């Protein structure tokens, strides 16, 4: 350690393993996939993988901010299911008066975003103003939203009116120049998220809050507001993910969005964001999301490994990612 | 001291008088313990349980019903213990969440002399229940397999969707495999869709990337069939002749009745079997008709001709 001379850190050098690790893992997965199945790199398969990553991806970008600011949100999966159910109910109820058309789709979208924001603000309020542990608050709201969607659906499935679904369907399956809408929205969210995280005052406030709450407070950072905004933004992003999700199958049930929260958190951690907060990387989260969905995709495309082991492979990658982070901390 | 003694005496007096009241009218209490509506099939089962309890309370003034839904096995054990302790049930109708954890408490109920009816999922120890009402998972697989064979006389390539890895799923898939053996139907791949729309959508997308030509799909469940159909529609693949689901979801039954060529048939695994169980238990408690033994509800092939007989528009499933 003492041999590390200052000019080594100043001059150009290889990026550390915590930066390279996720990228290498992604490249290795792509190479394995391409070798095992010739259809892996086909446009259709790439579109499928990117579009299905979009839900978790959009949510994971919001989760990156929450975790960077030292928080956690376990409720996003149930929240997505609840918002999807609510959106379907509102659109079905408005159908007789509004008819099928752009306005009713916009009504559904506004419902999703407003509901997401309110749900996020509620989590944020309980955590910041009442000072309850984020883990406990969101564990509670996770159960509440999951029960609410089961109750709304009467234990069954809420389905969007068939005509409406046909009209709304292109939002998941079509797009511009062959790039489908979920991929476009995911890309826009990532670009905005990356700019805010690495270039804006708010991004620095998140890192400061997560790094050391008291120091941030004395440095004139409004810790409470920073955290509250991160939860509200995550809620809005859950709403946006739901807008992309509902047109796919046109239904929501108690099994919608199960374990999305853990996939989103895993993606954030694989991408190099520190679980304890203080450092976040939006582009890393994107790589984390792609790694997780590529594992599932490759296992489905080959008969190489039993799909029972999907979770085990994801688990190994998550643990490896954290080991790489620890090495970086030890080195610094 | 004196107050508390008075209180206990009063409480005892109340307890004795209410017990006497119950005996006087000879009201028998039937406890019904089922898993909560966490997925479509369970939602339908909850619906039929509530409907049956409401109807039977009218039909049999001498019976009182207690219905409890549990979201996990632990809660179900508590529910059953509460029923015994506070309601002194004369009969228990139980659809166990899981076999192992529910076996000891149900055995305790049986040992106390109450009638026990077990539905669908058997207990780990044989001979506890007086009546066993269940669906036919092997028959479900066999009927599905035989239908595939009759629909594809020249054979063909199919993909198979499996449920959550359980005994139920294994029994279904094993009988299906046995039924299509030697028919020229070739199973390209089997994968777990976990009885879930989203999972089966993803798996079907990947199957479509992997195989350039698929003749038919055994989705084995209507929720999975919905995900499969959405993936086929999105990919615009028209070589796939049909998708066979199962369990008889009302939307899918309706499409079969309407003559949808992609969904020509269904195979039942009725959630209303809970109604059969409650009804038979009530008959056993109130009449001399013997109802002990086991009652297996066959899985029936539903086609366009008989679909409306299996269509329950009010049920959530």
What is the CATH classification number for the domain harbouring B238? 3.40.50.2300
Q: What is the mean pLDDT of residues A211-231?
A: 91
| B315 lies in some domain | no
CB A185 within 8 A of CB A54: yes
DSSP string, A73-119: -S-HHHHHHHHHHHHHHHHHHHHHHH-SSHHHHHHHHHHHHHHHHHH
Instruction: Output the six-digit token pair for B213.
Output: 């030509």
| Chain B residues with CB-CB distance to A256 below 8 A | 198
Instruction: Output the six-digit token pair for A41.
Output: 């790199």
| B86 lies in some domain | yes
Tally the domains of chain B.
Answer: 2
| B193 lies in some domain | yes
Verify whether the Cβ–Cβ distance A155 to B47 is below 8 Å: yes
Q: Which H/E stretch holds residue A253?
A: strand A251-253
Verify whether the Cβ–Cβ distance B47 to A159 is below 8 Å: no
> Chain B: nearest CA to A254, how far in angstroms?
6
Verify whether the Cβ–Cβ distance A155 to B36 is below 8 Å: yes
Q: Is B153 left (phi over 0), alpha (psi -120 to 50) or beta?
A: alpha
> Chain A: nearest CA to B203, how far in angstroms?
7
Chain A within 8 Å of B190 (Cβ-Cβ)? no
Chain B within 8 Å of A175 (Cβ-Cβ)? no
> Chain B: nearest CA to A116, how far in angstroms?
21
Q: What is the mean pLDDT of residues B26-51?
A: 84
Q: Which of B41, B48, B201, B209 to mutate to test the interface with A (most CBs of A within 10 A)?
A: B209
Summarised one tens digit per residue, pLDDT across range A147-165 is 999 888 877 788 888 888 8
Task: Tell whether B55 and B152 lie within a shared domain.
Answer: no
| B313 lies in some domain | no
Range in B11-20, B24-33, B90-99 with the lowest mean pLDDT: B11-20
Q: Which of A157, A299, A306 to mutate to test the interface with B (most CBs of B within 10 A)?
A: A157
Chain B within 8 Å of A150 (Cβ-Cβ)? yes
| Chain B residues with CB-CB distance to A301 below 8 A | 206, 209-210
Task: Tell whether B202 and B242 lie within a shared domain.
Answer: yes
Greatest mean pLDDT among A189-193, B210-214, B266-270 lies in A189-193
Task: Tell whether B262 and B280 lie within a shared domain.
Answer: no
Chain A within 8 Å of B192 (Cβ-Cβ)? yes
Summarised one tens digit per residue, pLDDT across range A296-314 is 888 888 776 776 777 788 7
Q: Which of A293, A296, A300 to mutate to test the interface with B (most CBs of B within 10 A)?
A: A300
Task: Tell whether B141 and B193 lie within a shared domain.
Answer: yes
Chain A within 8 Å of B252 (Cβ-Cβ)? no
Q: What is the mean pLDDT of residues B274-287?
A: 91
Verify whether the Cβ–Cβ distance A256 to B165 is below 8 Å: no
| Chain B residues with CB-CB distance to A154 below 8 A | 37, 43, 47, 316
B160 bridge partner residues: B190, B218
Helices within A153-280 (DSSP H only): 162-168, 170-173, 181-199, 201-211, 213-218, 223-249, 260-270
Task: Tell whether B223 and B148 lie within a shared domain.
Answer: yes
Among B37, B210, B227, the residue with its CB nearest the CB of A150 is B37
> Chain A: nearest CA to B182, how far in angstroms?
23
Look at residue B230 and give its three-state secondary structure. helix
Task: Tell whether B55 and B119 lie within a shared domain.
Answer: yes
Task: Tell whether B260 and B195 lie within a shared domain.
Answer: yes
Task: Tell whether B66 and B28 lie within a shared domain.
Answer: yes
Please state the domain extents for chain A.
53-281
If you measure CA to CA, which chain B residue comes closest to A143? B71
| B311 lies in some domain | no
**pLDDT of B31 higher than 70:** yes
pLDDT of residue A326: 65
Q: What is the mean pLDDT of residues A110-133?
A: 94
Task: Tell whether B143 and B248 lie within a shared domain.
Answer: yes
Q: Which domain holds residue B169?
A: 137-267
Q: What is the mean pLDDT of residues B62-67?
A: 90
| Chain B residues with CB-CB distance to A150 below 8 A | 36-38
Summarised one tens digit per residue, pLDDT across range A252-283 is 888 888 889 999 999 999 888 888 888 999 99
Instruction: Output the six-digit token pair for A5.
Output: 């001379």
């Amino acid at each position: 350690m003492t041999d590390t001379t200052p000019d080594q850190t100043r001059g150009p050098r290889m990026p550390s393993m915590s930066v390279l690790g996720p990228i290498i893992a992604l490249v290795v997965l792509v190479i394995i996939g391409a070798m095992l199945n010739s259809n892996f790199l086909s446009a259709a398969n790439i579109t499928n993988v990117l579009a299905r990553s979009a839900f978790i991806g959009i949510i994971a970008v919001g989760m990156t901010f929450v975790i960077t600011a030292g928080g956690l949100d376990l409720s996003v999966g149930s929240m997505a299911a609840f918002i999807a159910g609510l959106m379907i109910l509102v659109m079905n109820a408005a159908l007789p008066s509004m008819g099928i058309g752009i306005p009713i789709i916009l009504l559904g979208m506004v419902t999703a975003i407003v509901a997401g924001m309110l749900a996020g603000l509620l989590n944020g309020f309980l955590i910041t103003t009442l000072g309850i542990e984020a883990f406990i608050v969101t564990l509670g709201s996770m159960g509440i939203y999951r029960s609410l969607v089961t109750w709304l659906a009467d234990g069954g499935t809420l389905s969007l009116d068939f005509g409406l679904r046909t009209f709304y369907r292109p939002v998941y399956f079509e797009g511009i120049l062959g790039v489908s809408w979920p991929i476009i929205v995911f890309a826009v969210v990532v670009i905005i998220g990356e700019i805010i995280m690495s270039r804006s005052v708010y991004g620095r406030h998140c890192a400061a809050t997560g790094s050391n709450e008291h120091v941030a407070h004395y440095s004139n950072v409004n810790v409470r507001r920073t955290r509250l905004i991160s939860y509200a933004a995550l809620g809005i992003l859950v709403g946006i993910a739901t807008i992309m999700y509902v047109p796919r199958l046109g239904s929501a049930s108690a099994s919608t969005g199960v374990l999305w929260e853990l996939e989103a958190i895993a993606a954030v951690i694989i991408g190099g964001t520190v679980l304890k907060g203080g450092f976040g990387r939006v582009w890393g989260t994107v790589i984390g999301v792609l790694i997780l969905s590529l594992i599932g995709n490759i296992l489905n495309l080959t008969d190489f490994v039993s799909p029972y082991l999907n979770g085990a492979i994801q688990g190994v990658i998550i643990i490896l990612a954290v080991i790489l982070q620890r090495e970086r901390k030890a080195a610094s | 001291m004196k107050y508390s003694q008075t209180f206990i005496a009063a409480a005892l007096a109340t307890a004795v008088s209410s017990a006497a009241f119950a005996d006087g009218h000879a009201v028998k209490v039937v406890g019904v313990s089922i898993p909560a509506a966490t997925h479509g099939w369970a939602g339908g089962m909850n619906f039929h349980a509530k409907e049956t309890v409401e109807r039977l309370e009218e039909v049999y003034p001498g019976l009182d019903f207690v219905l409890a839904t549990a979201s996990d096995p632990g809660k179900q054990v508590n529910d059953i213990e509460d029923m015994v302790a506070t309601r002194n049930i004369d009969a228990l109708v139980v659809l166990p969440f899981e076999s192992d954890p529910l076996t000891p408490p149900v055995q305790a109920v049986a040992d106390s002399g109450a009638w026990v009816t077990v539905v669908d999922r058997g207990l780990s120890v044989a001979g506890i229940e007086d009546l066993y009402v269940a669906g036919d998972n092997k028959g479900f697989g066999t009927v599905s397999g035989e239908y595939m064979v009759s629909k594809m006389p020249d054979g063909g390539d199919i993909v198979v969707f499996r449920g959550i890895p359980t005994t139920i799923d294994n029994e279904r898939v094993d009988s299906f495999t046995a039924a299509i053996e030697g028919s020229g139907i070739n199973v390209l791949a089997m994968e777990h869709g976990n009885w879930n729309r989203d999972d089966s959508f993803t798996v079907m997308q990947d199957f479509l990337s992997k195989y350039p030509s698929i003749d038919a799909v055994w989705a084995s469940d209507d929720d999975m069939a919905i995900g499969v159909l959405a993936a086929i529609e999105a990919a615009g693949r028209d070589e796939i002749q049909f998708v066979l689901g199962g369990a008889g979801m009302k939307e899918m039954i309706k499409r079969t009745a309407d003559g949808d060529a992609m969904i020509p048939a269904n195979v039942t695994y009725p959630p209303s079997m809970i109604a059969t169980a409650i009804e038979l238990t009530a008959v056993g408690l109130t009449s001399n008709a013997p109802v002990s033994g086991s009652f297996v509800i066959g899985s029936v092939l539903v086609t366009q001709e008989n679909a409306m007989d299996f269509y329950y528009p009010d049920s959530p499933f």
